[in-house]
Chain A
Amino acid sequence: MKKIKYSDNSYANYKFGIRLQRGESKSELFTESADNFNKLYEEIKRFCVLPKFAKKYKVLTKFKSANGAHLYKCFRFSDSTQYCVKIVDKYALSE
């Protein structure tokens, strides 16, 4: 599931929207207020695969690596806090 957030659209009343996309199929959700949108966005975010990691985070230090996965300490620009990020190489995966 991929999500693209976009705010301006031709529908005058429904200015805030989320597009969910998986392969060929996609669906779009709209809401009228920014508050509703943010609530919805936070709820749905947990269940989505998001794009553009490199734009939103800065990788700081590496602190552990175990069986193909590396743990990094990362800084998120939007709320300026640090997170622990596990980065997995897709080609190293057997599943």
Chain B
Amino acid sequence: MLRETSILRRVDHPSIVKLYEVYEDESNVFLVYELLQGKDLRSKLSELLCLDEKSLSDCLWKLLHGLAHLHSRNIMHKDLRLENIFLRAPTSLTDACISNFNLADFTDPSKCIGPAALLPPAKPNYKKYG
């Protein structure tokens, strides 16, 4: 959790969830994020019957920008999937935002961590990652 806050304090990008403030008292820690009004991308996509190319490419372009921003700061998200991408507005698909940095870490090329089901099949042979 400490790592999550130190990562989010370091990044500032429109496609990455914003951490505004951190509070602490005797028994709890409070992390104040922006409120994302929309759903996560998986439930949104299963709701929609068809998608136009323009909005999908906009959405992906922004997400890739966010990801490039993370990688340029030597940060790996390590849990990037549809459930962890949220939409800022309930209706438009274009304003997507990467969140849930629970597993995120600063780059260490010797490790390979992620949800088991989403690991690449050649994982044992992967020497370099991220």
Q: Which residues of A does B touch, CB under 8 Å?
A: 45-54, 56-57, 67, 69, 73-74, 76, 81-91, 93, 95
Contact = CB atoms under 8 A, between A and B. Distances in A.
Contact of B23 (A53, A69, A81, A95): A53
A50 B21 contact: yes
Interface stretch (B27-35, B48-56, B70-78, B111-119): B27-35
Contact of B30 (A45, A67, A85): A85
A45 B21 contact: yes
B47 interface: no
B25 A53 contact: yes
B9 interface: yes
A73 to B, nearest CB: 7
Contacts of B1: 69, 88, 93, 95
Contacts, number: 70
Contact of B24 (A46, A49, A95): A49
Nearest to B22: A49
Interface residues of B, number: 21
A89 B24 contact: no
A57 B102 CA distance: 24
Nearest to A74: B32
Contacts of B29: 87-88, 90
9 contacts: A46-B20, A46-B21, A49-B24, A51-B23, A51-B25, A52-B23, A53-B30, A88-B31, A90-B28
B36 interface: yes
A50 B22 contact: yes
B122 interface: no
Interface in B5-49: 9, 19-25, 27-36
Nearest to A52: B23
